[in-house]
Amino acid sequence: MGNSVQTLSDKVSLIASPRTWVEGLAIEQLQKTAELPGMVRVVGMPDLHPGRGYPVGAAFLSLERFYPALVGNDIGCGMALWQCDLPLAKAKPDKLARRLGAVEGPLDESWHSLVAERKAALGISEHGYDSALGTIGGGNHFAEFQAVERLYQKDLLDPKQLLLLVHSGSRGLGQAVLQQHLAAFGHQGLIANTEETGLYLARHNQALRWAELNRELIARRFIDAIGSSGHCLLDVNHNLVSETGDGWLHRKGATPSTQGLVVIPGSRGDHSYLVRPTQSELGLYSLAHGAGRKWQRGDCKSRLSHKYRREDLLRTAFGSQVICNDKTLLFDEAPQAYKPCHTVIEALLDAGLVELVARLKPVLTFKTQGGGLLMHLLQLSAGQGPDECNRAVWLAARRLEAEARERGLTLAALRSVPGNVPQSLKSLLLAVQGEGAQAFCETWQGPMLWHCQSGLRPGHRRKNWYFSGQLFVAQEAVFDDAITFKATKAGGPGGQHVNKTESAIQATHRQSGIRVWVAGERSQHANKRLARALIAHKLAALAAAQQSAEEQACWQQHQALERGNPRRRFFGPDFVAR
């Protein structure tokens, strides 16, 4: 063992060589986490970097209680490596890219039977997030075709065949699980062997299985798109908590070393490494999960935009291609924003935690084709419920607005239907914009319950009032060529308040004749974006109207509203979440 294991205190150690750069804030977060009640050991990995209050790239061992907030909102995030039955000689980046035209958005009907079969096999009873299955998500998630550059151990990989590495997690489901916990307990830990612990672990374990299935479906979707077949070599989660003989082991951006081979990815312009763990207690039976960020996301564009054009970032030094039509994400995930992966691997080797199996290089990295063009529409509806349900929608809209503001998201109301009494809404259609919009919307998707004595009908015995949320995702690029835009002046009360610039937009979908008028924003660009979103929603509604009554009921909230198992619950006149 070399000098890559640093003891920072009696509870805290860091696996990092002198060549491994670790930000000071990450070490501060690591030491602060060690002070949590019941925490007995904390180990930072060489990819350690600051997170939102807690560090990423670390393992934590506690006694008698555990901390869901340490696991975070992307429960089950992890890596899956697949061997494709496609020779590298036929895997040219440009050719692969041309075949990936339909690998985003919800899976179509041809996948539904496989999804149902696999969910049953994995014991997944969660159904509210099926529309996100088979989708990568944003941030640092990706699907990357790779090639073996060097084999250190023979007969484990076919160096002549294409590989696919998938990095994704539980999408909005994990966010909902964490949010439910935080609403009830904040950042406090859960005491072992309590009812609350059992409820959290049940949902946590559902999210783990869901994330594993999500990666499987992403891999099958991509491999199917390139006309190949393949099989899974490994799938390992790196955000989870588990009970061990020594206590509760939390992993946040830390890969278990007890499940066989592990892949540790670099950035899209760097090598990834397939390693064999030694299952050492030194690292709390955990390893690094990647290269680790060097720069904060918000700093990347300002650091790089004056040096590189967008086109420069779509090719790497390996000659590999990058598909990412979100300009901000393209800069945020640039190779320069990450540590060199070989320094992470060197630290793990020096600490005696791994053996090298193979070094992999990127062929094509897929982030998103839609990029900033993805539009997220969220509809809240009381269905055919009474006035109290309409009041619930109004209260939910206020809470949703506050939660969106906390996450730096922007909302635009596209359409609202007022209720019959003050402070009530029959339905509300919102456009949600910003990083993490889909994951946020998914926490408001499905049936919801407001439990409260009626303030509209004193003495009324009923206290359960249902409403629901429906997420719709579309790509602007799909509609641009089919829409005619016309700029107009926004209306006003007259005098100095009249908008003298033509910022309002009238948009017409030529094929269907659907026409919308949007003036909610101050710029034409923003109003065009909302007009596209509204047309997309109307087209989906038109398609739903042409389906069978049974299919239509699944989509159209105003026709039927699901009861039974609410995704979220709110209580009292203050609409408190629990």
Catalytic residues: 289
Residues in the chain: 578
Cα–Cα distance for residue pair 346/328, rounded to 1 Å: 31
User: Is 383 annotated to bind ligand?
Assistant: no
Q: Is 74 known as a binding-site position?
A: yes
Tell me if residue 238 falls in helix, strand or coil: coil
SS3 452: coil
Distance in angstroms (rounded) separating the CA atoms of residues 141 and 3:
32
d(CA 416, CA 428): 4
Residue 291 annotated as binding site: yes
Contact 91, 83 (CB under 8 A): no
Q: Give the closest residue to 142 by CA, choosing from 341, 374, 329, 345.
A: 329
Q: Per the annotation, does 204 bind a ligand?
A: no
Q: Is 2 annotated as a binding residue?
A: no
Is 141 annotated as ligand-binding? yes
Residues 6 or more apart whose Cβ sits within 8 Å of residue 58: 30, 33, 42, 43, 44, 45, 48, 252, 253, 254
CA distance 307 to 334: 12
Q: Could you report how far apart the first and last alpha carbons of the chain are, in Å?
A: 49
Written as one letter, the residue type at 302 is: S
* 140 carries a ligand binding annotation: yes
Q: Which residues contact 74 (CB under 8 A, 6 or more apart)?
A: 169, 170, 171, 174, 175, 239
Q: Which amino acid type is present at position 126?
A: E
Which contiguous run of DSSP H or E holds residue 345? Answer: helix 341-350
537 is annotated as contributing to ligand binding: no
Cβ burial 267-298 (10 Å sphere, 16+ → b, else e):
bbbbbbbbbbbbebebbbbbbbbbbbbbbebe
Is 435 annotated to bind ligand? no
Exposure b/e, 308-331, CB count within 10 A at least 16 = b? eeeeebeebebebbbbbbbeebbb
C-alpha 480/C-alpha 184 separation (Å) is 44
Q: Is 289 annotated as a binding residue?
A: yes
Q: 513 among the known binding-site residues?
A: no
As a whole number of Å, the CA-based R_g of the chain is: 25
Residue 366 counted as an annotated binding residue: no
Token duo for residue 306: 């004056």
474 assigned binding-site residue: no
Cα dihedral 74, 79, 85, 90 in deg (nearest 10): 90
d(CA 358, CA 275): 7
Q: SS3 helix, strand, coil % of the chain, rounded to 5?
A: 30, 30, 35
What six digits make up the tokens of 210?
């869901």
For residue 553, the SS3 value is helix
Q: To which H or E segment does residue 321 belong?
A: strand 321-324
172 annotated as belonging to a binding site for a ligand: no
**131 labelled ligand-binding:** no
HSE of 318 in the Cβ direction (CA atoms, 13 Å)? 24
Count CB atoms within 10 A of the CB of residue 399.
16
Residues flagged as binding site for Mn(2+):
74, 141, 167, 238
Residues flagged as binding site:
74, 140-144, 167, 238-239, 272, 289-292, 367
Residues flagged as binding site for GMP:
140-144, 238-239, 272, 289-292, 367
